[in-house]
Amino acid sequence: MAKKAPAAATTTTVSDVYERITNRIVEQLEAGTRPWMQPWGAGGTPVRPLRHNGIAYRGINTVLLWMTAAEQGYSSRYWMTYRQATELGAQVRKGEKSTLVVYANAIERKETDDAGEEIERRIPFMKGYSVFNADQIDGLPEHYYATPSAAPESGKERIETADRFFANLGADIRHGGNKAFYHPAGDFIQMPPFDAFVSAEAHATTLGHEAIHWTMSATRLDRNLGREKWGDEGYAKEELLAELGSVFLAADLGLAIEPRDDHVAYIAWWLKSLKNDKRLVFQMAAHAERAVTFLHRLQPGAEENAGDIEESARAAA
């Protein structure tokens, strides 16, 4: 007799998906935790959650799976549906609860306008589906249970891979002073001297945060969230986007990251806005993933990895 699949999370409407996921994030923010800042990888290094085939999750799904891994203490990076586990000859343990992730795409439909002309209409859609962590599944091949290797101890020695990544951006990066910021009018990134940071990783992740801001320029992603002055609504949205993007980038580059204290002031606004707009965190996560994808596209050999890059862009849509 076939084993019965554990109860899976189901959704009825798109608005229900937005509601359920946003409420989870709000709960963590109210508890004083920024869910995208969970240091659950080795050495505090965030790691991208992976599908059963090794393809990384992107955008809001990264945040959702990080949250569940931190809450439940999962150590595996791999997530899959009940059916995928079965196809691998494995079995989800009885009583295990699934985690909701989302899939966004769009369909093209031909319609006739009032003038009788045929036009193509793009209709976006989103659906939720349920996945389980490999730690909830028995009988998977051994590599699904492997935990990330320990990260090297942070020190003042520069991180060559990170330095090379940022050098390849071609950004105007200036050093001096005691503040890190992106200057939109001058189109440059200002960074304190390397020795001012407690570690090389702190320097790299801070620069990553400012590089996400750098992508907003009209000559790059042309992103305008309504930011007019320091501390306004558009500014807070951009900071949420950059904080998400910097963690996604840290996961890609294998860098340990810690929350920046200067962003604590935004939490109250984020809470209020998330409660009023259930789509906000989805939108900011998608913007963040597009920014990270843009930075990766500037790296040598990006054309050779165009398939992976396009996958990232579609997942963030």
> Using one digit for the tens of pLDDT, what is the confidence trace for 169-212?
999 999 888 788 999 999 999 998 888 888 888 899 999 999 99
Beta carbons of 41 and 149 less than 8 angstroms apart: no
pLDDT exceeds 90 at position 155: no
Which residue's entry shows tokens 């923010």?
Answer: 29
Which residue's entry shows tokens 């959704």?
Answer: 11
Q: Is 125 helix (H, G, I), strand (E, B) or coil?
A: strand
Provide the pLDDT confidence category of residue 33 given band limits of 50, 70 and 90.
Answer: confident
pLDDT exceeds 80 at position 74: yes
Domain extents for the chain? 14-145, 160-316
Amino acid at 137: I
Q: Is 133 helix (H, G, I), strand (E, B) or coil?
A: strand
Confidence at residue 7, expressed as pLDDT on a 0 to 100 scale: 44
DSSP 48-106: --B-TTSPBP-THHHHHHHHHHHHHT----BEE-HHHHHHTT-EEPTTPPPEEEEEEEE
Beta carbons of 205 and 151 less than 8 angstroms apart: no
What is the rounded CA–CA span in Å between residue 112 and residue 243?
A: 43
> Using one digit for the tens of pLDDT, what is the confidence trace for 130-141?
999 999 999 999
Confidence at residue 316, expressed as pLDDT on a 0 to 100 scale: 44
pLDDT exceeds 90 at position 104: no
What is the rounded CA–CA span in Å between residue 203 and residue 199?
A: 7
Provide the pLDDT confidence category of residue 69 given band limits of 50, 70 and 90.
Answer: confident
> Using one digit for the tens of pLDDT, what is the confidence trace for 264-290?
667 777 888 888 888 899 999 999 999
Q: What is the mean pLDDT of residues 208-230?
A: 91
